Each structure stands twice: as structure tokens, then as C-alpha cells.
Structure 1
Amino acid sequence: MKNRKIAIVTGASRLKGIGAAICLELAKADTDIFFTYYRPYDAEQPWGSKSEEADLLESRILNEGVRCASMELDLTLTDSFPDLFDEVERKLGKASILVNNAAYSTNTDVETIKSESLDLHYFVNVRAPLLLSVEFVQRFQDGQGGRIIHMTSGQSQGPMLGELAYVTTKASIPDMTKTLAAEIGNKGITVNAVNPGPTDTGWMTEELKKGLVDKFPMKRIGQPEDAARLVSFLASEASEWITGQTIHSEGGFLRT
């Protein structure tokens, strides 16, 4: 069996999502994939999720000629962090790439935000990526070539109305990235974050697309594959001198 790198990608429930695109792009780069999903969250979203999508994604990854495994995982539970790595090691081996893609987002503004909703945003958007990263570092053995990649959004680029809890929690990712990168660089692990900007993962209406397309200089909407190609580069050996960065891969999106 070929000695490939092993990547963990969280939050790859939907075939049209960024998580699925990341899995497939890494698989094309000859990386074994372990991904997580959580159907109950997707079922609550307007765009929904079909129960078979995780199985279909696994089949597509296997068709790239790499190994693949997955598990349904509730990242609001602290036991999920060691459980995930135990399962990865049991099925595939030690991971050297961690992509913290899973996110929790519901519409919240000053009129509707509640502590319970804010807690759920915090559990998935802040606590999970940080403690998964800690678990990754503690188990990392190669001594070089480790990669942690967070997914964030454009909170620092401008306001996101109606997303108060999401913005509040996701805004921690760039600063977390800087400090974590400085703390673990001596272990041979880089840490970076990617902001993909507005991306058509199935949530955009046709009306919204028409309103957004002229804000992109290239006159097209961002696609999951755009973010996935950047993540694949950051996971590669070619990116070894890039760490502590948040890269705004937004296709030149204009906010004015």
C-alpha cells in the first residue's frame, strides 16, 4: 500500500458544500481522506441535505484511487474530539492534515439572538476547531509537514447583517490562527485560515446571485472548488513557508 498523507476534513455533509470539494481536491492530490458529517444540522437548514450524500461523497473519493472513511459526529460534544482521532487512527492511521471546515450558522440579530444559540455557535465555530487542533498537535508524530487549515469568513472585511452570533464566533479564527502557528511551528506544523468569500454551495437564490455577480471583477460567483484548490495548496509541501496567515480568496469581491 502506498504511503500517503492522511487528511481529516470536518463538516463534509453535502455534495455541493466546500467540505466535499476540499475532500475531492485533496484526494486528487493523492491524499487519503477521513471526513465527518452531521445530518441533523443540515436537515434544519433551508437547503437541506439528503441522507445518502455522505455515502456518495465517500464513493467519489474512493474513485480517485485513495482510501476513505467517515463518521457522523456532533462537534458540540467534547468527547467527539478524541473519538474522531481514535477512529481515524483505527481506520486509516495517523493524520498529518487537519481541515477545520465544519461551521454552525443560524440567522441571529439583536432582536433574535439568545444565549443558547450563541453557545452552539461557540461550540462548533470556536471550541471545536481549537480543541481539534490541540488533539492533532498532541498526536502528530512526523516532525514535519503537518498542516492545520481553518475555514473562516469575511468578518474583518465588512459587516454581515443578520449573522451576529456567527460573526462573533468566526471572528476569532484569524487571531487563533496567528497564535497557534507561533506556538507549534517548532513541531513542523503550519497553521493557516481561508476566507472563501461568498460561495455558491446551494444556499444562494437566483435573485441573490444576480445581485452579487457584478461585485466580482471576473463576473462569476465563487464556487466550492475555488476554496478547495487553495486548501489543497496549503496542505501541500509547497506551502511549508506559509503559516499564521488568513488568506482572503474572494475573487476580488467588492463590498462598496
Structure 2
Amino acid sequence: MESKRQVPNNIALVTGASSPRDIGTAICRKFASQGLSIFFTYWKADPAWIEEFQQTITNMGVRCESLEIDLSNPNAAYEILDSVETKVRFPSILINNAAHSKSDGYLHLDAQTLDHHYAVNMRSTFLLCVEFARRFEKSDLDTGRIINLTSGQDLGPMPGELAYAATKGAISAFTRSLSQELAPLGITVNAVNPGPTDSTWMTDEIREQLLPKFPMGRIGLPEDVAQTIAFLASEEAKWITGQIINSEGGFIRG
């Protein structure tokens, strides 16, 4: 049986767990294995799978609740936190994993594409972070964790993904600045760049192209990301804040 790490609290809020191969789904499983209750959000998922997944988490001996929500809704952050407080109670761990991605490039980039990426990747993430902090300050908790997902935009270009690269890259800057504001509250704020991960977006053709760039001989898995995030959420990581963790398995860019 896997040993459990000490965690600041026993409730984790995870956005973007909509299919069996999602990074968000792997994070939920990892946290549940450590005894944390789970509240996750999803969008346009198979209702039968959502029910099955919730039962799987519940069978691990923890509570599991969920909410279907469109994160492009300006009020999504408030609705999510209202829901988790009503269905479970206020969490001490927030994982901003959900993202919007649609290929563009300079020939196709337009206002609508930018707005869609901004609404999910930036606005929902940023509002969830600050509203979490405001409610945390009124709670009886003394330790909290915010972990955002980014995609390595600081490390190299992403041609054909201008809106995605720009909006996900903003998360890094936001994370660093927010960490300074929230440190006095006992909340650490970090981001994780997992590199190319074999989740819902990867095809056989993409795998074939990427595999030679991984010196460890395999492509990253959602479970790899979950391990890193579980550490940052643990008591052992209480002195780590304002960091962008590039956990890419030695991925060679270019």
C-alpha cells in the first residue's frame, strides 16, 4: 500500500478532469490515494464515465464531488468555489489544470480565438486563484496550496499556437507575483510545466515525432505530472513558492 504524505488539509479542488486520460484525472487519483477528498470540474464529458470515475474515487475511501462548468463563463470561479463549499467544504488545495487550446498561427489568429483562450487559460485561472485566497483568509485554515499548470512557453517557441502560448505563458508571470502577495497568508503558489504529455491530445503521429526528443526513452504520462503536483501540495514542499517547475523528463526542444 502506498504511504500517505502529510498534506495541509484533506480536500483538493482540481479543474479539468473530463476523460480517463486527462492530467486532471490522474491528479484526482493521486490525491485520493493519499486520503484527500476530491472536488473536480469537467466540461462536455461522458456522463456515464463521470459517474464511474466518481465511484472509483469514492471506493478509495474518500469523498468525491464534481461540477460540470464552462470555464469561459465570467462567473465560473465563484460558482466553482460556492459549489465545493456547499457540497464538501472549503479546500486547502487548488489545482488549475483545465485549459483551452486551438491551433492558430499568424494567418489564422483573430480576436475570437484570443478571447476564447484568454477566458479559460487566464481569466478563470486568475479569478480562481484570487477568490480562493480571499475565502481562505476567512477560513480556519493556516496552510494552503495553489498549483497552476503551464506548458513551457518560457523555454522555447510554439509555432502555430500563438494564443495558447501567450495565455499559458501569462500564468507563469501571474504565479510568481501572486506568490509574493499570498505568502503572508500561508499559501504557496507554484506552477508546473509537465512538457509534452501523452494525454487526450496526442496522436500516434505526434508520439512518433516526439519520442526521439525524450532521452529517457518514453513520453511523459499524466501520472508523472500528478506525482510532481502531489509533492508541491505536500507538507514537505511548504518552503517552495513562486516557482515554475519544469518537469519534462529531459525533453529536448528544437
Q: Tell me the TM-score normalised to structure 1 length.
A: 0.92
Work out whether residues 195 and 251 of structure 2, in 8 Å CA contact, stay in contact via their aligned partners in 1: yes
Inter-partner Cα distance in structure 2 for 1:63 and 1:106: 36
User: Is residue 62 of structure 2 the alignment partner of residue 57 of structure 1?
Assistant: no
Offset of residue 80 of structure 1:
1.8
Q: Partner of 2:152 in structure 1? A: 154
Work out whether residues 76 and 124 of structure 2, in 8 Å CA contact, stay in contact via their aligned partners in 1: no
1:101-150 Cα offsets, whole Å, 9 max, x none, are 01000111111111011101001101111110111001112442200000
Structural mapping, 1:78-89, within 5 Å: 78-89=74-85
Q: Partner of 2:211 in structure 1? A: 213
Work out whether residues 190 and 241 of structure 2, in 8 Å CA contact, stay in contact via their aligned partners in 1: yes
Inter-partner Cα distance in structure 2 for 1:50 and 1:70: 13
2:172 to 171, 174, 181: 174
2:12 to 7, 10, 28: 7
Match of 1:57, as an amino acid?
F
1:99 to 65, 76, 95: 95
Match of 1:200, as an amino acid?
D
Give secondary structure in 2 for the equivalent of 1:172.
Answer: helix
Work out whether residues 37 and 64 of structure 2, in 8 Å CA contact, stay in contact via their aligned partners in 1: yes
Inter-partner Cα distance in structure 2 for 1:91 and 1:175: 32
Structural mapping, 1:99-178, within 5 Å: 99-140=95-136, 141-178=139-176
Runs of at least 4 residues off by over 3 Å = none
Work out whether residues 4 and 32 of structure 1, in 8 Å CA contact, stay in contact via their aligned partners in 2: no
2:40 to 21, 35, 38: 35
Work out whether residues 191 and 244 of structure 2, in 8 Å CA contact, stay in contact via their aligned partners in 1: yes
Inter-partner Cα distance in structure 1 for 2:213 and 2:189: 30
Using the TM superposition, name which of 86-95 and 76-85 deviates more.
76-85
Q: Partner of 1:249 in structure 2? A: 247
Pairs aligned (count): 245
Offset of residue 4 of structure 1:
5.4
Q: Partner of 2:71 in structure 1? A: 75
1:60-105 Cα offsets, whole Å, 9 max, x none, are 2112110010010111112222111111111111110000001000
Work out whether residues 4 and 30 of structure 1, in 8 Å CA contact, stay in contact via their aligned partners in 2: no
Unmatched 5+ residue regions in structure 1? 40-48
Inter-partner Cα distance in structure 2 for 1:53 and 1:177: 33
Inter-partner Cα distance in structure 2 for 1:232 and 1:79: 28
Work out whether residues 92 and 141 of structure 2, in 8 Å CA contact, stay in contact via their aligned partners in 1: no
Using the TM superposition, name which of 75-84 and 147-156 deviates more.
75-84
Inter-partner Cα distance in structure 2 for 1:107 and 1:135: 30
Work out whether residues 96 and 142 of structure 1, in 8 Å CA contact, stay in contact via their aligned partners in 2: no
Inter-partner Cα distance in structure 1 for 2:47 and 2:110: 30
Using the TM superposition, name which of 3-12 and 95-104 deviates more.
3-12
Give secondary structure in 1 for the equivalent of 2:239.
Answer: coil
Work out whether residues 34 and 69 of structure 1, in 8 Å CA contact, stay in contact via their aligned partners in 2: yes
Work out whether residues 143 and 187 of structure 1, in 8 Å CA contact, stay in contact via their aligned partners in 2: no
Match of 1:130, as an amino acid?
F
Using the TM superposition, name which of 107-116 and 185-194 deviates more.
107-116
Inter-partner Cα distance in structure 2 for 1:21 and 1:98: 15
Inter-partner Cα distance in structure 1 for 2:141 and 2:185: 6
Q: Percent of aligned pairs with the same residue?
A: 50
Inter-partner Cα distance in structure 2 for 1:104 and 1:51: 21
Offset of residue 34 of structure 1:
0.3
2:234 to 230, 236, 240: 236
Offset of residue 58 of structure 1:
1.1
